[in-house]
Structure 1
Amino acid sequence: MLRRLLSWLGSDDDRPADPETRADRLREIGRDPLAHGHDATEDVLAALDDESPLVRTTAAEVLGSVEVYHELVAADPLIECLDDPERSVRLAAAEALTVTTDATVVDDVLPYALADDPGVRAAGAVGLYHALGRITYEFAPAQVEALFDAVAATNEGDAGTEDDELAREYLLSAISRGVATRDLASLDAARTDILVTALDDDAISVSGQAAALLGHVDNETARAGLRKASERHADERVRDAATEALTDGAE
């Protein structure tokens, strides 16, 4: 039965025509990958190139949900999916990067987070955040500047898109994980303004993070933005976050 399962996944001639059936086969492998062996892992990886978005998405989900795969599978095939034409595939691949323990993955994912295309940028931001989950990594100053510029880019044009909103949230989350406190303290005026603008974002996940990050910025623009938010912001949670950031920054 297993041999038949693997042949269906690996052969264009023998595999089921129905994408849902092919996706189910991948889920079956994912439930016990060690029992299915190395060939099954290769078939899951090969499914990242399937013509069906459902199958590609499922393959990425399986790779990200099975703990053992971070030992067996390089992140490269998942990274290459961050610019897949289908949004579901991009985001599944991005979330699957949570299994990585390889610091070099951050450098490979970063260009996607800085991409001009909003969909690719959002997937890259999600992937960057997840890639930082199990490793210690410190962004270089030039990378810090580029990340803040990417946040600013999400506010250009039709900034209300779902991908732009997602990118803002996860870019700030990645900055929180990977930017050294000293680099935040010396943040320049233009990029401080990016955080001050983010205080007014409709999403608390963005405005709250902006407040926390501004608490580390040692300039009057940051403090003025936090004071205004602590006194006048419509959302009590943001007011509290700004007040806390001012208090922490004063210590």
Structure 2
Amino acid sequence: MTNSTTVSGLLDGKVAFITGAGRGIGAAAARLFAREGARVVLAARTETQLKTVAEEIRASGGIADHVVCDLGDAASIRAAVDHTVDLHGRLDVAFNNGATNVPPGPMDHVTEADFDHIYEVNLKGPWLSMVAEIAAIRATAGTGAIVNNTSVGSLMANPELPAYGAMKRGVNSLTASAAVTYGPEGIRINAVAPGTTMTEMFGDWVESSPGILERLNAQTPLGRVAEPEEVAEAAAWLLSDRSSYVTGTVLRVDGGMVS
């Protein structure tokens, strides 16, 4: 007689809602979470990207749906979270990954319109998302976990992306406050702070700022950029029951850049 051990996925049986899931870290997270056993709902503004990723996941045997969502719009976020509950009857975990950026440059070069836009998406968006997700978890699964995607640039001066860094630091604060508020209910709130990660958004920065990739790699003890999947792995662990005593943490996934 042969003994066989079945290793369960990190997120087996969980319903996961992911923002910014059409590309970059969000798309990598959607694929990974599905491989780890979650039923995933992908949210972003660009439906063609969402459909492509969801179809890839389904073709690999995963369960994936998508919903168009504008992170600057409270009603849109609420509708996307409600759609997730309508599809699966519950919400267990959420990864608030969606973000935008503005052209790099010193603070006095940031336009007011760009500042307002990055505030709407990168700070107000995660706040609105957490409010909707906590309500859904509370009403269905009862307990659960949320991870916000911030940035290593939120943990130090960020002179080239000052508005971006400020909004991401604000999300760190929201994460800490929410962890204290909702921990007694069994809802854990954490964040990941990626370092240099090879996403489309970062690619745009590399194109506009010659030499930035080499400079950032020189500041990173591991000496390279991260792949989006490496950040997704950290988020998956924080959302899983294997991190059941972790809340209020901003986990650096930065190759040692901040030490």
- Length-normalised TM-score, structure 1: 0.29
Structure whose CA Rg is larger: 1
Structure 1 or 2: more helix by fraction:
1
- Taking CA–CA contacts closer than 8 Å with sequence separation of 6 or more, which of the two structures ends up with the larger relative contact order? 2
- Length-normalised TM-score, structure 2: 0.28
Structure 1 or 2: more strand by fraction:
2
